């Protein structure tokens, strides 16, 4: 595959027109069209749909352009490093569950960064996307969370995908709620106490080899009739702080967050399910110094919170 032809395809995709792209590239339209067709022939797919209105990407074309742009950016970075004798910029990337103790570790980790050029990527998402980010999106590390009863499914999946795993934490979920909650003063909270309230929950649990409906039923018991589903932590804390009729199951939360949002944290003796937070990365990948610093902060934050 010709890298130059790849760059041409990206330009055509961005311009949405062969003629516009040829003007920007200073290439005659027939020559540009021939290059695109040669690329499609090499790949064995159709990248563009041609019409009088211009050229639009096919679904396979969208996938190709997504990867092509990343490759071209990497080529640019490579040329800058070696042609301009620039120091290589340090990069750190990780996908994690929505966990306050991990977020606290990331804050501390960020404070340790010196004056060197550096880029940090911190993505909160579910376990499925954390794995996909390592396999397909260039992320180096991930932390996935799952109930211990699903350990077999995850171990098989990680082994199949050639990923290394290391347990960082094992815990039971606790309850958090507003200090004004009708349950805030109770010394002990049971499942039955939660029935009148509204549960806030993250909406995208994932377990390989199991239908989502089964996982949702396992993670979100049917006896709670009202749910608010969220995808990030900021809104969950606002809801919990301002609506005393809500509660949430979470991994233990740092004291400073509980104080900031005027929340209380409670254990529930009825809850016996154990969860694991597991570090994952590609087999053969050597952890960088930044990776090791972050992992150390996570372990320290875990000791304080869990």
Scanning the structure block, which residue is given the tokens 């516009």? 20
Q: Are residues 193 and 65 in the same domain?
A: no
> Of 38, 53, 83, at which residue does a domain stop?
83
* pTM exceeding 0.75: no
| CATH assignment of the domain containing 118 | 3.40.190.290
> Of 59, 83, 107, at which residue does a domain stop?
83
- Rounded to 10 degrees, the C-alpha dihedral 106/254/150/141 comes to 0
Q: What is the reported pLDDT for 199?
A: 94
Q: What is the reported pLDDT for 84?
A: 63
CA 67/CA 169 separation, integer angstroms = 34
Q: Are residues 127 and 151 in the same domain?
A: yes
Scanning the structure block, which residue is given the tokens 């064995």? 44
Q: Are residues 27 and 66 in the same domain?
A: yes
Q: Are residues 17 and 133 in the same domain?
A: no
Q: Are residues 11 and 65 in the same domain?
A: yes
Per DSSP bridges, beta strands 246-250 and 141-147 are unpaired
Q: Are residues 154 and 276 in the same domain?
A: yes
Q: Are residues 224 and 141 in the same domain?
A: yes
Per DSSP bridges, beta strands 54-57 and 48-51 are antiparallel
Q: Are residues 99 and 238 in the same domain?
A: yes
| CATH assignment of the domain containing 53 | 1.10.10.10
What's the structural domain count of the chain? 2
Q: Please name the residue ranges forming H helices in the chain.
A: 3-15, 18-25, 29-43, 59-83, 100-111, 127-136, 151-160, 191-194, 212-219, 233-242, 255-260, 289-305
Q: Are residues 172 and 277 in the same domain?
A: yes
Q: Please check whether residue 9 is in contact with residue 38, taking contact to mean a CB–CB distance below 8 angstroms.
A: no
CA 273/CA 149 separation, integer angstroms = 8
Residues paired with 229 in a beta bridge: 201
> Of 83, 114, 142, at which residue does a domain stop?
83
Q: Are residues 214 and 263 in the same domain?
A: yes
Q: Average pLDDT by consecutive 10-residue portion of the chain (306 residues)?
A: 88 89 87 90 90 87 90 82 67 94 96 83 92 92 93 91 95 96 94 94 62 48 79 90 96 94 95 94 94 96 91
CA 281/CA 306 separation, integer angstroms = 24
Q: Are residues 71 and 135 in the same domain?
A: no
CA 160/CA 176 separation, integer angstroms = 37
Read off φ and ψ for residue 273, nearest 5 degrees.
-75, 130
Residues paired with 165 in a beta bridge: 280
Q: Which domain holds residue 100?
A: 91-306
Q: Are residues 135 and 17 in the same domain?
A: no
Q: What is the reported pLDDT for 100?
A: 95
* Residue 23: other Cβ atoms inside 10 A: 12
């Amino acid at each position: 595959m010709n890298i130059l032809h790849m760059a041409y395809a990206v330009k055509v995709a961005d311009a949405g027109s062969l003629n516009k792209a040829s003007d920007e590239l200073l290439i005659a339209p027939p020559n540009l069209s021939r290059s695109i067709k040669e690329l499609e022939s090499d790949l064995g797919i159709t990248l563009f749909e041609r019409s009088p209105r211009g050229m639009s990407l096919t679904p396979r074309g969208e996938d190709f352009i997504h990867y092509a742009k990343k490759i071209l950016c990497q080529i640019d970075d490579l040329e800058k490093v070696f042609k301009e004798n620039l120091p290589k910029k340090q990069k750190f990337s990780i996908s994690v569950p929505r966990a306050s103790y991990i977020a606290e570790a990331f804050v501390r980790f960020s404070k340790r960064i010196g004056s060197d050029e550096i880029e940090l990527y911190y993505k909160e998402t579910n376990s499925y996307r954390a794995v996909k980010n390592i396999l397909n999106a260039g992320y180096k590390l991930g932390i996935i969370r799952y109930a211990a009863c699903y350990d077999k499914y995850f171990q098989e999946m990680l082994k199949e995908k050639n990923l290394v795993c290391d347990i960082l934490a094992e815990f039971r979920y606790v309850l958090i709620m507003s200090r004004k909650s009708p349950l805030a003063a109770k010394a002990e909270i049971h499942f039955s106490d939660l029935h009148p309230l509204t549960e806030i929950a993250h909406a995208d649990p994932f377990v390989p080899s199991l239908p989502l409906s089964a996982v949702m039923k396992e993670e979100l018991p049917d006896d709670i009739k009202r749910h608010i589903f969220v995808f990030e932590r900021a809104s969950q804390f606002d809801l919990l702080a301002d609506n005393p009729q809500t509660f949430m199951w979470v991994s233990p939360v740092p004291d400073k967050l509980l104080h900031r949002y005027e929340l209380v944290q409670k254990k529930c003796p009825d809850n016996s399910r154990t969860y694991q937070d597991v570090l994952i990365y590609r087999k053969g990948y050597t952890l960088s110094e930044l990776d090791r610093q972050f992992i150390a902060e996570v372990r320290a934050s875990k000791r304080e919170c869990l």
